[in-house]
Amino acid sequence: MSKLLATTPKQDGFRMPAEHEPHSEVWMAWPERTDNWRDGAKPAQRAFVEVATQIRVTTPVTMLVSADQYDNAVSRLPDNIRVLEVSTDDSWMRDIGASYVVNDKGERRGVDWEFNAWGGFVDGLYWPWKRDDQVAQKMCEITGDSRYRAPIVLEGGSIHVDGEGTLYTTEECLLHASRNPDLTKEVLSDILSEHLNIEKIIWLPHGLYNDETNGHVDNILHVVKPGEVVLTWCDDENDPQYAISREAYDCLTRQTDAKGRKIVVHKLPMPGPLFMEEDEASGIDIAAGMEREAGERLAASYANYLITNHQIVFPLLDERYDMDVKHKLETLYPNYKVNGVNAREILLGGGNIHCISQQVPAV
């Protein structure tokens, strides 16, 4: 039974495990917003089915879906994927789902962050967002885990942890005026420490260029293992990402992690640059908040992959680099299956494979 706790994970001896630690399942949410997904969301739904099917090779998958789309989702998804009728406003499970914490006694709890659609009334992508903000609570009730309601606005894609006391994030996102404008960096750091039980925060200055999430860390960096990360890299001096990537590299290599290790940085090539095509934009309903126009630069990154139970599910985005990235990931993750999924349709909605998935750690 899930209950709301008045303490914090740190007080109770719980920590957020790294993504490379074992998972009991991965959660996703079915896409259907016609102002974000083109052509009635049908191409996106096919992509979500492919991602869910691939994850299911090693890990059980739960898909959340609205009442209106329930029959459609059930008919399109494999029988071995659990489908639950749960209302959402969109389908970015990483950002709306609970961030789970565990202890060394085999217990698990959820952290329920406040969600405001990446910016609230300052620069959020849609309103209302109430159903999205309820997902983490419902998730904990379904998994049967008690939860902590954290006192800050935060999306799961804006943080990465190594499971050994280090958290990676970006100043661009967490210190943005649309998240927690009344809190200082120090107060935010204390809240993160209490709710994730981390000892050190590595603050990258910026996330990926033109990322409408205000620079989520999961779209520029991924933690391979403690003391080791991958970083989106750009070699074109005329591209805005060039300076951002070097700034991040310098930030990472000049610091140590919570255990005093120098951080090893592996460079992943940046796909593209990729842009929204005319036919892609024409299939999307016009709405305030989201830039969905032909020529809009897409925030494409190979770092936006999922690690789950000795498998890497990564986005195929650019034929020039897809296989190089696959080989690189195979080298970084020996004894892991590395599987690519065509992910442009997910990218068109503003994120990628990591953004649409949220793991529940095994205990």
**How many CB atoms lie under 10 A from the CB of residue 297?**
17
**How many CB atoms lie under 10 A from the CB of residue 4?**
11
Query: If residue 18 lies in a helix (H) or strand (E), which one and from where to where?
Result: none
Structure letter (DSSP) for residue 39: G
Contact between 231 and 267 under an 8 Å Cβ cutoff? The reply is yes
- Alpha-carbon dihedral angle through residues 45, 212, 307, 339, given to the nearest 10 degrees: 50
> What letter represents residue 163's amino acid?
G
Contact between 141 and 2 under an 8 Å Cβ cutoff? The reply is yes
Q: What distance in Å separates the CA atoms of residue 275 and residue 29, rounded to the nearest whole number? A: 25
274 torsion bin: left (phi>0), alpha (psi -120 to 50), beta (else): beta
Q: What distance in Å separates the CA atoms of residue 113 and residue 92, rounded to the nearest whole number? A: 14
Query: If residue 120 lies in a helix (H) or strand (E), which one and from where to where?
Result: helix 120-123
What are the residue numbers of the active site? 355
Pairing, β 108-114 against β 166-170: unpaired
Structure letter (DSSP) for residue 271: P
Contact between 252 and 263 under an 8 Å Cβ cutoff? The reply is yes
Q: What distance in Å separates the CA atoms of residue 8 and residue 44, rounded to the nearest whole number? A: 37
Structure letter (DSSP) for residue 256: B
Q: Which residues contact 121 (CB under 8 A, 6 or more apart)?
A: 127
